[in-house]
């Protein structure tokens, strides 16, 4: 079970040139925005990466807006864990429950997930907020993540699991996010 005080979102490479080629792009971007907005309401920290932004462009505008003033970790390695800055920020946050979303599921998402699990983290992949260019590659990516030890979740499942109860101001804010 996820707990807000122990959790972190790692958002992998949701960039313009990559996203335009993704299967089910609009749904994935919409779910990613909901996920980011929901976790910000719940005060769950977010780390996000951009793979070679000079070549692949910045994070898509809808997601970038939801992220607010957070700074991207620029990377060239497929796994976020291959970047020194990412590892320093991850260690500083000291969270062991990690939600992972982004693209591409069978490459950068999977390799990040595998590395996080090997470091002893409890990882959940947000299936409706990941994609690849083909549905087959997304399915392979999710299967490899699961085989590595990750749990599979969805945007709303993760948000409501973190929220815990249907009361208060945060609940009202979350209802606006998921509708």
Q: Which two tokens stand for residue 41?
A: 């309401």
Q: What is the pLDDT of residue 46?
A: 98
Q: Indicate which residues carry an active-site annotation.
A: 13, 75, 108
Q: What is the pLDDT of residue 69?
A: 95
Q: How confident is the model at residue 72 (pLDDT cuts 50, 70, 90)?
A: very high
Strands 46-51 and 122-131: unpaired
Looking at the chain, the whole-number percentage of residues with pLDDT higher than 70 is 100
Q: How confident is the model at residue 37 (pLDDT cuts 50, 70, 90)?
A: very high
Q: How confident is the model at residue 27 (pLDDT cuts 50, 70, 90)?
A: very high
- DSSP secondary structure, the chain, as one string: ---GGGEEEEEE--BHHHHTTSTTHHHHHHHHHHHHHHHHHTT--EEEEEESHHHH-SB-HHHHHHHTTPPPEEESSSSGGGSHHHHHHHHHHT--EEEEEEE-IIIIIHHHHHHHHHTT-EEEEEEEEEE-SSHHHHHHHHHHHHHHT-EEE-HHHHHHHHH-SS-HHHHHHHHHHH-
What are residue 120's phi and psi, to 5 degrees? 95, 10
Q: What is the pLDDT of residue 111?
A: 98
Q: How confident is the model at residue 29 (pLDDT cuts 50, 70, 90)?
A: very high
Name the one residue in this structure whose structure tokens are 């970790």.
73
Q: How far apart are CA 174 and CA 41, in angstroms?
A: 7
Average pLDDT over residues 131-160: 98
Q: How confident is the model at residue 28 (pLDDT cuts 50, 70, 90)?
A: very high
């Amino acid at each position: 079970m996820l707990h807000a005080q122990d959790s972190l979102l790692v958002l992998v490479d949701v960039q313009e040139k990559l996203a335009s080629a993704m299967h089910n792009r609009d749904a994935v971007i919409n779910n990613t925005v909901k996920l980011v907005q929901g976790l910000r309401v719940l005060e769950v920290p977010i780390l996000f990466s951009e793979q070679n932004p000079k070549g692949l462009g910045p994070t898509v505008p809808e997601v970038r807006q939801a992220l607010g003033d957070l700074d991207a970790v620029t990377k060239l390695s497929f796994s976020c864990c291959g970047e020194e800055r990412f590892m320093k920020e991850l260690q500083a946050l000291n969270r062991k429950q990690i939600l992972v979303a982004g693209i591409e599921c069978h490459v950068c998402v999977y390799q990040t997930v595998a590395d996080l699990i090997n470091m002893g983290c409890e990882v959940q992949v947000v299936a409706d907020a990941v994609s690849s260019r083909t549905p087959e590659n997304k399915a392979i990516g999710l299967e490899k993540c699961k085989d590595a030890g990750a749990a599979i979740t969805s945007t709303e499942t993760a948000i409501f699991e973190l929220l815990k109860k249907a009361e208060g101001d945060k609940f009202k804010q979350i209802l606006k996010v998921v509708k």
